[in-house]
Structure 1
Amino acid sequence: MGDRSRVSAPIIGLTTYLEQARTGVWDVQAAFLPKVYFDAVNRAGGIAVLLPPQPASATIAGRVLDTLDGLIITGGKDIDPALYGQQAHPSTDSPRRDRDAWEQALVLGALERELPFLGICRGAQVLNVALGGTLNQHLPDLVGSSRYQLGGGKFTTVPVDIDPTSKLASMLPDAASLEVPVYHHQSIDRVGDGLRVTAATDDGVVEAVELEGSSFAVAVQWHPEESPDDLRLFAGLVDAARDYRDAISTQEAP
């Protein structure tokens, strides 16, 4: 029964890191993604496919997206500030331009197709920058503390207020206010074209945006994969991906 149900599961692409990695005798550049991401997709009923950084173009990204039912842009290093017209802050990561270009091509192609999309942490920032927005490069300069990124790989939680009219609220109907796991020192500043803020903290930090008029283009600054008992955002994406696949199949039927 389980194998038969997986046949109808939608395919969700997840972008990956590209970093120097050591395993056994090898010390090489490698694409990887923490298991919690694709485990959440699997548990929500989707099939996870990893999308490592590679040479980007609209054509190449489109070829990949045509095989998917949904897309997740995952967390990771800071976006190159040159993409939103700024010089790098001293605390900003060295740019990963290959990943920036790859993910921007994927995001723009997904939006063009109305492919269901979920951005997570860096993914929210990629969406915002791709649509002409900007970022705050170092939150401690603005809020006076490191509450959003304690360092050492330790997640902390912050309360967020959710817009009750948003797609996000439809997936979290009992959560006008929610404690979410965060690990970010940057945040959305000027909001990109067509986006609206759907969740924020008590000190005004944007924690979620979504694209107006889209069936499912949602991005959160927090890390839902770090809440293993709450798969609602992943389930929402998987449901939307299933609907997208079924609609495409109907259009292609003779």
Structure 2
Amino acid sequence: MFMKLNGIRHITSAPYHPATNGLAERFVQTLKQGLRAFADAPISLQQKLANVLFAYRNATHATTNRTPAILFLGRGLRSRLDLLKPNLRRTVMDRQIKQGKGTHNRETRQLEIGQTVLARDYRGEHKWIPGIIRERQGPLSYTVEVAPDTIWRRHLDQLRGSEVRTAAEMVDPAASFIAAQGDLSLPTASATPETMSLPSSTAGQDSRNLQSSDSDMGCLPSPGPPLTPRIGLPRAGASPAVTPERRYPMRTHRPPKRLSL
């Protein structure tokens, strides 16, 4: 039944006549000859049989002029003879795989939840904006909170570590980022204006006018040309104002050249 279901045709031969099935008897003789060659080898019978079959399947057949391994697998079996003549293509592939492992198997940066980072901003002039890591969504993907109720998703390559404290960052991240640059100082309302002096000839008259105006607030001043204050010259011992140095050099931005048709 098994042979009928699988389409096997069972043909028998006359007893004591091996020439009827010559190919099978020839293989039996080849196998016995190979086992005799390993008679003195200090290995087991199973290893001897494996070596004989390996040599037979990797040897060129006289009829097909091909090895059984190539006909069955489409390639030759790798033996010790291949070590005498290395394959250049295989050597190049092994070297490329080795270089790829050295590049891709390096340690990856790890960011912690709540860590302060700089996230890449593609909206305006500021390329980096501070934020806080809120969630890790993959091996290299994170969600960053850059403002209240504003969540961005960024790759690890789009994030940089930052030492900026986050006490006031989440209120106005852009202002905190500009203040963290260090060398830029903004003018304050309590800045003291430069000292202004009036001419000495009119100093007494102006002081008397001020006293009279304090005593009589209802009187309007008489129309006349306003006094022009004169800015006092710097003293001999006073040091000139020092302009702060720029941290970065001034860049010249060229407008893009667009093709207008």
Pick the structure with greater CA Rg: 2
Task: Tell which has more relative contact order, 1 or 2 (C-alpha 8 A, sep 6+).
Answer: 1
Instruction: Give the structure with the larger strand fraction.
Output: 1
TM-score (structure 1 length as normaliser): 0.17
TM-score (structure 2 length as normaliser): 0.16
